[in-house]
A = this chain, B = another copy of it.
């Protein structure tokens, strides 16, 4: 929470530089070897946690704003961020309205009004991220998806919606670039899907379906070494992968 003096300074800057009534909230899912985490922030005087978020500069495209916010929190450039939904309940800003009510006249108080928030999600390898707290927070940290803390505002709803969107995305867009090594086996890719969906998948159905997407190249030589039958190695066909990111797996029809 901001002190009165901080609120005065922040409000003045914000009212000058940002588009009022719009915010951005980012759900960054981190994956590494079968584990899924979410990047969260905690302020020093509140018990609950926040998703990383921020505002849109007056002359800034919204996707650029999301990139900027994420870069500040993660150090990562060019994360593939997807808009997934807008959160526009009139009461969603009430906690902040109340928290700062009376500290400043309403028309000068950045947190006196309603904020409609654009939700973005991303999926990254959490080993590559160095979390940075923002000016309001003492902590920026990965939390396990199956052991999430209590969330402030409507942020529980936002990360759950993002997870639904990510799971839906498995049906119509490719996933896994930046999470897999350059070459990987079919069981390694299946593990990623199983972790996101939080369930076991049938090996043969998975292989048939993923190959049907047309985004994988199979190496001619199976992986060497090991006592068992050597598995084939796959890599992403980046041209088809990029096309499917923009257009989806339309080939299905």
Contact = CB atoms under 8 A, between A and B. Distances in A.
Copy total for this chain: 2
B86 A61 contact: no
A164 B54 CA distance: 29
Contacts of A170: 253
Interface stretch (A16-24, A145-153, A218-226): A16-24
A58 B90 CA distance: 8
Contacts of A114: 19, 58
Interface residues of A, number: 39
Contacts of A60: 90
Given A21-B22, A56-B88, A56-B116, A167 B61 contact: no
A31 to B, nearest CB: 16
Nearest to A57: B90
A19 B61 contact: no
A231 interface: no
A168 interface: yes
A250 B164 CA distance: 10
A193 interface: yes
Given A86-B62, A90-B61, A167 B56 contact: no
A48 interface: no
Nearest to A196: B253
Contacts of A193: 253
A160 interface: no
A201 interface: yes
A118 interface: yes
Interface of A: 19-22, 56, 58-63, 65, 83, 85-86, 88-90, 114, 116, 118, 164, 167-168, 170-172, 193, 197, 199, 201, 206, 209, 247-250, 252-253
